[in-house]
């Protein structure tokens, strides 16, 4: 690497100012004060950066990692047990009953799909907006998307009762009854939305990993390891011709994922909004659900990254500034969610519909008031602490707040589903929904599945996109590239 | 450097810094090289222009596949709901255009994304397990922190001494000749 303090942005400034000899040292310092803070806070070479990131993949698992895997693995066993009981004895073992026909299964489904949305927001939307800070956290957040959507997909499938027959209930497959699925049903839209979301996120994630898999292949000493990563890297050689197409494709993936992620949670909210039930039948649901999804997803990303950067010693790559920026998004989306809560109440009053007014009063002051106020305090009140710079830059304080955000967002779905159902139009059928231990076991087990997959991911793939991070280091791009192009007329 | 008796595959120049690589690439392009490539650990700004690469075809394929997916989705929903087994649900028309929008949109995205992924594999030359650079143990440098340029022996301009002079004159710290060790034919383009 050459010395010299000028980063790529300085060069861009240089090309803008013309063909002069470039800024003098004094001007350079002045300009550097105007530059955004560096994305990697320690001065490292490409090789050092790469070593720091791939160390967890290339070293023997640590004791802490094994403890983590043991805990989450036990929860996966619990998940298996609860799944077997559910499948053998039927969904009657759950707490769902007559007015509350949708219980934990749909709550968990919406919760996990929402968790996934932060990953796509970071990898796609921030990419389109040229937010370079996303580089340090995008890979991990994308992995979270994939695993969260896997957890989400589990619940509707088991809710069908006989998942082995769900193929032709969910997908338009030819079958012996000659009946097709009902394309007017939001549940059928869900299948397409979540299925597409999972497939596209998986391809986006994998495409992003190909260059890093090639790096792991080339660093590998063990022949089996070399073979494995060789297959995963698809024979990537870092060729400029390949990079040329690759960058274009990556941009397209980002462009496709952006409307996709907005559509997915909108369609999830249609499951409720398209029905005629008071409390669900509201037009604010699609934007409200998308904001809530981003809110909870960032909470989860933040929570995992606080642990990860400490355990893997990546504090110089996943910096305090990353946490701060994520916390700013949390407070913004948290306010949107709070606004939606308020508007729902206003519209219930303003509509003049007695049933609508009753549902919202019942929500805040009825038998489930405890759940409602947990939701409001976790989602609207506690995130306000992030207005204080000192709090949002302190991982020890951020960690409990983002956990509360996730608790609050889970309760939000609980409130929407249960409080709208448990007191329906016929007071004689009113009841109080209580989950069974199998419901709770499935919820805990889905967390186990999520964290098990995340822990395995941290062991087998670099948690930070090495190739992208190298490209944002200062000095990683040719000096005066723009000027050279203009001089020689390289714009074929 | 490989000492085996295999046929000459090409030559590589290894750079420690992207700037001379970029200058060198511009000159090689102007000299009219066809079978050559640069291998870098990350996409280097401006290299595609310096090498004179043409625009990628991927966006065109992606949007075409997207529209195909949308038409396919509309056709599928029409066939299943209106033609093959018409069922009236909730008093809605058999061809309920607004209700068919979500699936149409999702299939647009799905088809477009699958095509993009397929195009990456096709255009980036992936799923090819053999390359002379692997045999010459150059890949670690190219995926880690150095910048490698490859001149293929099949190019009409290829002349060992000329290439060496060209590379050394343009700041390549390390110039190597690569022979085919495994006797398999492989062309790096």
Give me the residue spans of the domains in chain A. Answer: 62-463
> What would the DSSP string read from start to end of B41-92?
SSPPTTHHHHTTPPPPSHHHHHHHHHHHHHHHHHHHHHIIIIIIS----TT-
The pLDDT assigned to B12 comes to 86
Whether B12 maps to a domain, the answer reads yes
Whether B3 maps to a domain, the answer reads no
Instruction: Tell whether B46 lies on the interface with A, counting CB pairs under 8 A.
Output: yes
B54: three-class secondary structure by DSSP: coil
- For residues B93 and B133, state if they share a domain: no
DSSP secondary structure code for residue A382 in this structure: G
Higher pLDDT among residues B115 and A15, named by residue: B115
The answer to whether the Cα torsion of A254, A257, A259, A262 is positive or negative is negative
> What would the DSSP string read from start to end of B113-179?
HHHHHHHHHHHTT-S----HHHHTT-HHHHHTT-EEEEEETTSTT--HHHHHHHHHHTT-SEEEEEE
- For residues B116 and B138, state if they share a domain: no
Whether B135 maps to a domain, the answer reads yes
Q: Residue A179 CB: number of other CB atoms within 10 A?
A: 12
Res B189 pLDDT > 50? no
Q: Residue B114 CB: number of other CB atoms within 10 A?
A: 17
Using an 8 Å CB-CB cutoff, list chain B residues near A192. 102-103, 106-107
A204 to chain B, minimum CA–CA distance in Å?
A: 8
- For residues B133 and B147, state if they share a domain: yes
Integer angstrom CA distances of residue A110 from A75, A103, A277, A293, A308: 20, 11, 18, 9, 26
Residue B29's domain spans which residues?
A: 8-54+128-179
- For residues B67 and B106, state if they share a domain: yes
Task: Answer yes or no: are the C-beta atoms of A422 and A103 closer than 8 Å.
Answer: no
Tokens of A363: 């929500």
Whether B187 maps to a domain, the answer reads no
H, E, C per residue of B3-24 = CCCCCEEEEEEEECCHHHHHHH
Average confidence (pLDDT) over A330-343: 93
Mutate: best of B31, B49, B112, B114, partner A, most A CBs <10 A:
B49
Q: B29, A8: Cβ pair inside 8 Å?
A: no
> What would the DSSP string read from start to end of A228-251?
HHHHHTTT---BHHHHHHHHHHHH
B110 to chain A, minimum CA–CA distance in Å?
A: 6
Mutate: best of A52, A186, A239, A264, partner B, most B CBs <10 A:
A239
Closest by CA position to A112, among listed A449, A463, A460: A449
Closest by CA position to A402, among listed A304, A285, A256: A304
* B147-152, strands of its sheet edge to edge: B36-39, B147-152, B8-15, B174-179
- For residues B114 and B75, state if they share a domain: yes
Whether B173 maps to a domain, the answer reads yes
Task: Answer yes or no: are the C-beta atoms of A253 and A124 closer than 8 Å.
Answer: yes
ipTM: 0.88
Closest by CA position to B146, among listed B62, B72, B2, B42: B42
Using an 8 Å CB-CB cutoff, list chain B residues near A186. 102
pLDDT tens-digit series, residues B119-128: 999 988 887 7
Res A360 pLDDT > 70? yes
Confidence of residue A28 (pLDDT cuts 50, 70, 90): low
Q: A478, B51: Cβ pair inside 8 Å?
A: no
- For residues B69 and B118, state if they share a domain: yes
Average confidence (pLDDT) over B4-10: 69
Using an 8 Å CB-CB cutoff, list chain B residues near A234. 121, 126-127
Place of tokens 């007071």: A427
- For residues B119 and B63, state if they share a domain: yes
Closest by CA position to B18, among listed B177, B171, B188, B174: B171
Average confidence (pLDDT) over A21-47: 60
- For residues B50 and B134, state if they share a domain: yes
Q: Residue A29 CB: number of other CB atoms within 10 A?
A: 11
Q: What's the CA gap between A481 and A284, in Å, rounded? A: 49
Task: Answer yes or no: are the C-beta atoms of B135 and B96 closer than 8 Å.
Answer: no
Say which residues have a Cβ less than 8 Å from residue A479's Cβ, sequence separation at least 6. Answer: A2, A6, A11, B19
pLDDT tens-digit series, residues A445-476: 999 999 999 999 988 888 888 888 888 777 77
Res A18 pLDDT > 50? no
Mean pLDDT, rounded, of chain A = 85
Q: What's the CA gap between B42 and B68, in Å, rounded? A: 33
Higher pLDDT among residues B161 and B137, named by residue: B161
Using an 8 Å CB-CB cutoff, list chain B residues near A130. none
Q: A249, B116: Cβ pair inside 8 Å?
A: yes
Q: A249, B119: Cβ pair inside 8 Å?
A: yes
Surface of A (270-309) touching B: CB under 8 A: 270
Higher pLDDT among residues A315 and A16, named by residue: A315
Q: A240, B107: Cβ pair inside 8 Å?
A: no
The pLDDT assigned to B2 comes to 42
Average confidence (pLDDT) over A384-411: 93
Higher pLDDT among residues A310 and B104, named by residue: B104
Tell me the CATH number for domain A62-463: 1.20.1630.10
- Determine the distance from the C-alpha atom of residue A423 to the mean position of all C-alpha atoms in its chain, rounded to a whole number: 34
Size of interface A-B (CB pairs under 8 A): 248
Average confidence (pLDDT) over A395-421: 93
A253 to chain B, minimum CA–CA distance in Å?
A: 7
Task: Write the residue in B76, B117, B139 that is nearest to A207 by C-beta.
Answer: B117
A469 to chain B, minimum CA–CA distance in Å?
A: 9
Instruction: Tell whether A210 lies on the interface with B, counting CB pairs under 8 A.
Output: yes
DSSP secondary structure code for residue B100 in this structure: G
Res A400 pLDDT > 90? yes
The answer to whether the Cα torsion of A408, A422, A94, A286 is positive or negative is negative
CB-based burial of residue A384 (10 Å sphere; 0-12 exposed, 13-18 middle, 19+ buried)?
middle
Whether B113 maps to a domain, the answer reads yes
Helices A46-58/A186-219 angle, 10° precision: 110
Closest by CA position to B134, among listed A34, A238, A279: A238
Instruction: Tell whether A188 lies on the interface with B, counting CB pairs under 8 A.
Output: yes
Task: Answer yes or no: are the C-beta atoms of A301 and A118 closer than 8 Å.
Answer: yes
The pLDDT assigned to B13 comes to 87
The pLDDT assigned to A30 comes to 57
Q: B121, A236: Cβ pair inside 8 Å?
A: no
Q: B124, A193: Cβ pair inside 8 Å?
A: no
Q: What's the CA gap between A116 and A65, in Å, rounded? A: 23
- For residues B72 and B107, state if they share a domain: yes
Q: Residue A64 CB: number of other CB atoms within 10 A?
A: 10
- Determine the distance from the C-alpha atom of residue B24 to the mean position of all C-alpha atoms in its chain, rounded to a whole number: 21
Total domains in chain B come to 2
pLDDT tens-digit series, residues A56-102: 788 788 888 899 899 999 999 999 999 999 999 988 999 898 888 88
> What would the DSSP string read from start to end of A277-290?
-TTT--TTHHHHHH
Task: Write the residue in A180, A185, A195 that is nearest to B84 by C-beta.
Answer: A180
Find, in chain A, the residue whose alpha carbon is nearest to that of B49: A490
Q: A179, B87: Cβ pair inside 8 Å?
A: yes
Instruction: Tell whether B61 lies on the interface with A, counting CB pairs under 8 A.
Output: no
Find, in chain A, the residue whose alpha carbon is nearest to that of B90: A184
Q: B85, A180: Cβ pair inside 8 Å?
A: yes
Integer angstrom CA distances of residue A378 from A95, A407, A474: 25, 7, 40
pLDDT tens-digit series, residues A165-184: 888 888 888 888 888 888 98
Say which residues have a Cβ less than 8 Å from residue A277's Cβ, sequence separation at least 6. Answer: A420, A421
Mutate: best of A174, A201, A213, A244, partner B, most B CBs <10 A:
A244
Surface of A (104-163) touching B: CB under 8 A: none
- For residues B50 and B65, state if they share a domain: no
Q: What kind and span of H or E run contains B106?
A: helix B101-123
Share of chain A above pLDDT 90, in %: 49
Using an 8 Å CB-CB cutoff, list chain B residues near A214. 139, 143
Find, in chain A, the residue whose alpha carbon is nearest to that of B78: A183
Q: What's the CA gap between B62 and B118, in Å, rounded? A: 10
Average confidence (pLDDT) over A294-308: 91
Q: A240, B37: Cβ pair inside 8 Å?
A: yes
Say which residues have a Cβ less than 8 Å from residue B52's Cβ, sequence separation at least 6. Answer: A490, A492, B29
- For residues B78 and B164, state if they share a domain: no
Q: B87, A211: Cβ pair inside 8 Å?
A: no
Average confidence (pLDDT) over A126-151: 88
Surface of B (125-184) touching A: CB under 8 A: 125-131, 133, 139-140, 142-145
Res A22 pLDDT > 50? no
Q: B42, A211: Cβ pair inside 8 Å?
A: yes
Q: What's the CA gap between A204 and A225, in Å, rounded? A: 24
Domain boundary among B97, B123, B149: B123
A35 to chain B, minimum CA–CA distance in Å?
A: 19
Average confidence (pLDDT) over A130-141: 84
Distance between first and last Cα of chain B: 22
- For residues B115 and B70, state if they share a domain: yes
Find, in chain B, the residue whose alpha carbon is nearest to that of A221: B140
Instruction: Tell whether A192 lies on the interface with B, counting CB pairs under 8 A.
Output: yes
């Amino acid at each position: 690497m050459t010395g010299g303090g000028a980063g790529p942005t300085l060069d861009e400034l240089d090309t803008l100012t013309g063909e002069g000899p470039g800024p003098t040292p004094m001007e350079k310092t002045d300009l550097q004060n105007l530059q955004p803070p560096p994305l990697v806070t320690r001065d490292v070479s490409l090789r050092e950066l790469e070593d720091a990131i791939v160390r967890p993949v290339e070293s023997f698992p640590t004791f802490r990692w094994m403890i983590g895997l043991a805990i989450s693995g036990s929860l996966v066993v619990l998940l298996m047990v609860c799944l077997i009981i559910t499948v053998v004895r039927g969904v009657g073992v759950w707490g769902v009953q007559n007015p509350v026909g949708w219980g934990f299964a749909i709550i968990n489904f919406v919760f996990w799909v929402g968790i996934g949305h932060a990953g796509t927001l970071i990898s796609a939307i921030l990419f389109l907006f040229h937010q370079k800070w996303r580089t340090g956290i995008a890979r991990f957040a994308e992995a979270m998307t994939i695993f969260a959507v896997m957890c989400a997909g589990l619940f509707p499938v088991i809710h069908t009762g006989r998942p082995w027959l769900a193929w032709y209930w969910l997908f338009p497959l030819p079958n012996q009854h000659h009946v097709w699925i009902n394309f007017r049903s939001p549940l059928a839209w869900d299948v397409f939305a979540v299925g597409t979301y999972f497939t596209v996120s998986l391809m986006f994630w994998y495409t992003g990993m190909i260059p890093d898999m090639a790096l792991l292949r080339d660093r590998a000493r063990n022949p089996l390891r070399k073979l494995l990563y060789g297959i995963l890297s698809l024979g990537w050689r870092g060729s400029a011709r390949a990079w040329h197409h690759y960058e274009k494709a990556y941009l397209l993936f980002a462009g496709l994922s952006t409307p996709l992620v907005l559509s997915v949670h909108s369609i999830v909210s249609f499951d409720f909004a398209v029905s005629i039930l008071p409390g669900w039948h509201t037009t604010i649901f699609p934007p409200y659900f998308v904001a809530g999804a981003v809110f909870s997803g960032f909470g989860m990303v933040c929570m995992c990254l606080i642990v990860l950067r400490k355990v893997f010693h990546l504090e110089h790559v996943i910096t305090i500034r990353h946490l701060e920026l994520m916390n700013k998004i949390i407070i913004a989306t948290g306010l949107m969610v709070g606004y939606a809560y308020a508007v729902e109440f206003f519209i219930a009053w303003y509509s003049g519909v007695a049933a609508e007014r009753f549902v919202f009063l019942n929500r805040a002051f009825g038998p489930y008031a405890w759940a409602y106020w947990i939701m409001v305090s976790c989602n609207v009140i506690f995130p306000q602490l992030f207005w204080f710079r000192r709090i949002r830059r302190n991982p020890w304080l951020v960690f409990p707040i983002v956990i509360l955000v996730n608790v609050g967002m889970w309760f939000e779905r609980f409130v929407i589903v249960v409080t709208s159902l448990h007191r329906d139009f016929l007071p004689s059928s009113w009841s109080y929904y209580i989950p069974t231990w199998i419901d709770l076991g499935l919820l805990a087990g889905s967390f186990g599945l999520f964290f098990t997959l995340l822990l395995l991911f941290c062991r087998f793939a670099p948690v930070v996109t090495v190739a992208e991070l190298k490209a944002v280091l200062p000095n990683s791009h040719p000096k005066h590239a723009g000027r050279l192009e203009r001089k020689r007329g390289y714009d074929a | 450097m490989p000492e085996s008796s295999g046929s000459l595959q090409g030559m590589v120049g290894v750079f420690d810094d992207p700037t001379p690589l970029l200058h060198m690439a511009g000159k090689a392009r102007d000299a009219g090289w066809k079978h050559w490539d640069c291998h870098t650990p990350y996409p280097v700004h401006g290299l595609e222009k310096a090498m004179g690469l043409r625009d990628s075809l991927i966006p065109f394929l992606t949007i075409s596949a997207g529209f195909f997916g949308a038409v396919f989705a509309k056709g599928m929903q029409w066939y299943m709901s209106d033609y093959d087994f018409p069922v009236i649900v909730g008093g809605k028309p058999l061809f309920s255009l607004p209700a068919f929008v979500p699936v149409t949109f999702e299939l647009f995205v799905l088809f477009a994304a699958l095509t993009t992924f397929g195009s990456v594999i096709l255009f980036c030359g992936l799923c090819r397990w053999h390359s002379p650079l692997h045999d010459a143990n150059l890949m670690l440098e190219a995926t880690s922190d150095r910048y490698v340029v490859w001149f293929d022996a099949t190019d009409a301009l290829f002349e060992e001494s000329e290439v060496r002079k060209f590379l050394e004159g343009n700041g390549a710290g390390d110039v190597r000749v690569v022979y085919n060790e495994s006797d398999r034919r492989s062309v790096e383009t």
